[in-house]
Amino acid sequence: MHFDTTSVPRSLYIHWPFCPYKCHFCNFVALAAHDQYMADYHNALVKEIETFFSRQNSKLTIDTVYLGGGTPSTYPLPLLLDTFGTLKNAVTFSSDYEMSIEVNPGTVSDEQLVAWREMGINRISIGVQSLNEMVLKRLNRHQSTKDVGEVLEKAHRLFSALSIDLILGLPGVSAEQWKETLAQVVQWPIAHISIYFLMVHEQTPLYFGVKSNKITLPPDDEVVDLYYWSIDYLAEHQFVQYEISNFARPGFESRHNKAYWDRVPFKGFGLGACSFDGNRRFQNEKNLMKYINNIGDGKDVIDFSEQLSREQIWLETLMLGLRQKNGMVYEELINFLHDEEKERFKAQVALLCDRSLMKCENGRLQLLPRALAVENEVVEKLSM
């Protein structure tokens, strides 16, 4: 099943799966010690991009591009230039486009930053995760606080839209250390902060460490308390929470992520990349050699596709929409439902409002602060 060429994606995702090491908590499509495949992968990626756009009825206008990974800052410059050249031939960028690249500290040079800016990249997302070097090292992430300082300093000279990612709940990071980290990052020249709860994904070294009691995670209630503390602390420092995990100075909210949360069509290219055409979700092949060989043989690289059922659409709409601080238009939710479903939904919303988990104000249904850490439970109550 192919991406519907009559749907018009305005956001693109490009995946670069190579990493200098594999972090013990990572379950992304990321490969360490595979650098010898970079050139072949790049050729396949460019071919996938060219093929997709050659099938479109007209030249698409694109609002956002996100180069994620993996570690895209390890994408060799001449190859990345080629990819962007291909993109620029294939699409038109809207006048206020957002183009982001993910980078890891310790993998970025001045030359790269200058070239990225010339290519049109205008937003840098830095995977800081923690400022505790020992904790990172135990999780096989090899970056120092000095690396973080260097990349910030270099990137700040060229880019105003700088974002950092942090992980909350890492083993070995005390509450005090977390607070010190936030006290430090709010002084940095950044405009956006993403805070993700540590997830223990099955089959990762972190998972086995926790399972065998070699690694102890901080208690859930401590992590949740720190999350709420962080929301208040960042607000005091002009980082407004606009989504469960995301905080920005006004005007620096991620437009690319908003496209995902708003369920508008987007197209992903590369290993394991996901796409959405408005009705179906797709995922590309996750095996590197299969991906490269299939493209070389002119075969499809979509490994999984799914036509969403009415129930799935409802669940996605709620899950993604309620993540956003300004919530969702109540009337649009009601209009989606059949009569008997409407009554149940209204009753559930009333209960959740009584429990101070939600509010409906100015026609919008929004989560209240105490529901932010338990969004899943709220969505479950509202599911069909």
Beta carbons of 316 and 308 less than 8 angstroms apart: yes
238 Rama sector, left if φ>0, alpha if ψ -120 to 50, beta otherwise = left
CB of 368 to ligand SF4, least distance (A): 32
Pattern 120-149, ligand SF4, x by CB under 6 A: -------x-------------x--------
270 scored as a contact of ligand SF4 (CB under 6 A): no
DSSP strand E in the chain: where?
Answer: 11-16, 18-19, 31-32, 61-69, 92-103, 123-129, 161-168, 192-197, 240-243, 246-248, 266-269, 274-276, 280-284, 302-307, 328-329, 358-361, 364-367
Residue 50 Cβ, how far from ligand SF4 at the closest point, in Å? 26
Instruction: Indicate the SS3 state at residue 226.
Output: helix
Q: Which range binds ligand SF4 by CB under 6 A, 69-77, 186-194, 276-284, 309-317?
A: 69-77
Question: Which of residues 131 and 357 has its CB atom nearest to ligand SF4 in the complex?
Answer: 131
Rounded distance between C-alpha atoms, residue 105 and residue 281, angstroms: 32
β 123-129/161-168 pair status? parallel
Omega prior to 270 cis, within 30 of 0 = no
Q: Which of 12, 14, 23, 164 binds ligand SF4 (CB under 6 A)?
A: 23
Residue 233 and residue 43 in contact, taking contact as beta carbons nearer than 8 Å: no
Q: Is 19 helix (H, G, I), strand (E, B) or coil?
A: strand
CB neighbours of 93 closer than 8 A, spacing ≥ 6?
61, 62, 63, 99, 120
- Quick one: tokens of 322? 């309620």
- Residue 173 sits in the site that holds ligand SF4 (CB under 6 A): no
Q: Which stretch binds ligand SF4 (CB under 6 A): 16-24, 204-212, 226-234, 313-321?
A: 16-24
Indicate which single residue of 70, 72, 105, 209 sits in contact with ligand SF4 (rule: CB under 6 A).
Answer: 70
Give the residue with the Cβ less far from ligand SF4, 70 or 265: 70
Of the residues 69, 72, 105, 327, which one makes contact with ligand SF4 according to CB under 6 A: 69
Report, in Å, the least distance between residue 271 CB and ligand SF4.
12
* Residues 229, 27, 214: CA angle, nearest 5 degrees: 70
Does residue 101 belong to the site contacting ligand SF4 (CB under 6 A)?
A: no
Span interacting with ligand SF4, options 26-34, 46-54, 262-270, 302-310, rule CB under 6 A: 26-34
Instruction: Output 71 or 294, the one with its CB closest to ligand SF4.
Output: 71
Query: CB of 126: closest distance to ligand SF4 in angstroms?
Result: 11
Contact code string over 28-47 relative to ligand SF4, x by CB under 6 A: x-x-----------------
Shortest distance in whole angstroms from residue 34 CB to ligand SF4: 11
Taking CB under 6 A as the criterion, the residue among 7, 22, 43, 364 binding ligand SF4 is 22
Considering beta carbons, is residue 130 or 324 the nearer one to ligand SF4?
A: 130
Taking the mean position of all CA atoms in its chain, how far away is CA 59? 26
Return all residues near 40 (Cβ < 8 A) that are at least 6 apart. Answer: 292
Q: How many of the chain's residues bind ligand SF4 (CB under 6 A)? A: 12
Q: From the list 12, 14, 26, 358, which residue makes contact with ligand SF4 (rule: CB under 6 A)?
A: 26
Q: Are 206 and 135 in contact (CB under 8 A)?
A: no
- 273 belongs to the binding site for ligand SF4 (CB under 6 A): no
* Helices 375-382 and 310-323, axial angle in degrees (round to 10): 140
Q: Does 68 bind ligand SF4 (CB under 6 A)?
A: no
Residues in contact with ligand SF4 by the rule CB under 6 A: 19, 22-23, 26, 28, 30, 69-71, 104, 127, 141
